[in-house]
Amino acid sequence: MRKLELILDGELMQGDDVRALQQALEGRGFPTGGADGTFGAATDAALRAFQLSEGDLLVDGQAGPRTLTRLGLTQDPALPSVADRVTPLIVARMLPTAPIGNIEHNLEPVLQGLRHFQLTDKPMVLMALATIAAETASFKPIDEYQSRFNTSPGGHPFDLYDQRRDLGNRGNPDGASFKGRGFIQLTGRDNYRKIGTEIGHDLEQYPEQANEPAVAGLILACFLKHKEISIKTALLDHDLALARKLVNGGRHGLESFQTAYLRGEKLI
């Protein structure tokens, strides 16, 4: 039998705390084999079944703050935050090629974005920083570069994006207007409109704002928030390639992402 590995109100949950967890699970129709105060296989299975049934909880068999809140055992769903422990020097060790001036200028806007979307637990902070390492290694918001994937031979910049209906573009000059920008390379009219609405900025009307550090930090965090449970599930399985794919859609920058994430795990 194993003890619960989560802390509630500063104390390791065991005995009466586990019994309360078991009673709460049983009360919602998830049998634990009896409320005996011991966290065994039956309690683990019941807890995972409850998490799965909720649809938006990480299915990890851990009675974390969000799970305990859903079960009515605490009123504070906040996950432990590491944001205050992340310093420019730590990030510089994660991204050794990034100019320290860029890190000092842009780190706080990134952290503020994560705080806004309640993503300051260690896995999501590492995910954000490693994503920047893969997307914009210099640790500053940037414009997408021209390439054969976005610009035809002899064509005007980003002409291959102009008619991309999957991005919501409506023809020239949408390709250039809604090219990739920011820490995470937000691309396409639809994405500028949708993300802009969620963060309170009219990015469809003013797309250049996506490169302002405070706005870029919110965009990054908003995008990660959409994928939070899927990303955490991949990280729980130590599948960094899948975590990266959930953001990028492929393997671009995977080596940089993995290196930064693994370094950060040891530093934060």
| CA pseudo-torsion sign 2, 5, 11, 17 | negative
Using a pLDDT cut of 90, give the percent of the chain over it: 85
| Cis amide leading into 80 (omega within 30) | no
Confidence at residue 13, expressed as pLDDT on a 0 to 100 scale:
57
In terms of Cα–Cα distance, which of 221, 230, 226, 241 is closest to 58?
Answer: 230
pLDDT for 8 beyond 50: no
pLDDT for 197 beyond 70: yes
Question: pLDDT, tens digit, for every residue of 79-91?
Answer: 999 999 999 999 9
Name the CATH topology of 143-211: Endochitinase; domain 2 (3.30.20)
The alpha-helical segments, DSSP class H, found in the chain are: 16-27, 41-54, 65-70, 88-94, 100-116, 122-135, 174-177, 189-199, 213-226, 228-236, 240-248, 254-267
Confidence at residue 184, expressed as pLDDT on a 0 to 100 scale:
94
Confidence at residue 255, expressed as pLDDT on a 0 to 100 scale:
96
Average pLDDT over residues 190-196: 98
pTM of the predicted model as reported, rounded to 2 decimal places: 0.88
Rounded to an integer, what distance in angstroms lies between the CA atom of residue 106 and that of residue 72? 39
Q: How far is CA 164 from CA 18, 47, 140, 158, in A?
A: 53, 44, 27, 11
The answer to whether the beta carbons of residues 186 and 210 sit under 8 Å apart is: yes
Calculate the CA dihedral of residues 22, 27, 30, 36 and round it to 10 degrees: 30
Query: What CATH superfamily classification does 7-70 receive?
Result: PGBD-like superfamily/PGBD (1.10.101.10)
Question: pLDDT, tens digit, for every residue of 10-67?
Answer: 444 568 889 999 999 999 999 999 999 888 889 999 999 999 999 999 999 989 999 9
Average pLDDT over residues 86-113: 98
Instruction: Give every CB contact of residue 61 below 8 A, 6+ residues apart in sequence.
Output: 44, 47, 48, 51
pLDDT for 105 beyond 60: yes
Confidence at residue 45, expressed as pLDDT on a 0 to 100 scale:
94
Confidence at residue 12, expressed as pLDDT on a 0 to 100 scale:
46
pLDDT for 94 beyond 60: yes
Mean pLDDT across the chain: 93
Strand partners of residue 8: 11
User: What are the sequence ranges of the domains in the chain?
Assistant: 7-70, 83-141+218-267, 143-211
Instruction: Count the residues in the chain.
Output: 268
Calculate the CA dihedral of residues 180, 197, 222, 6 and round it to 10 degrees: -170
pLDDT for 220 beyond 50: yes
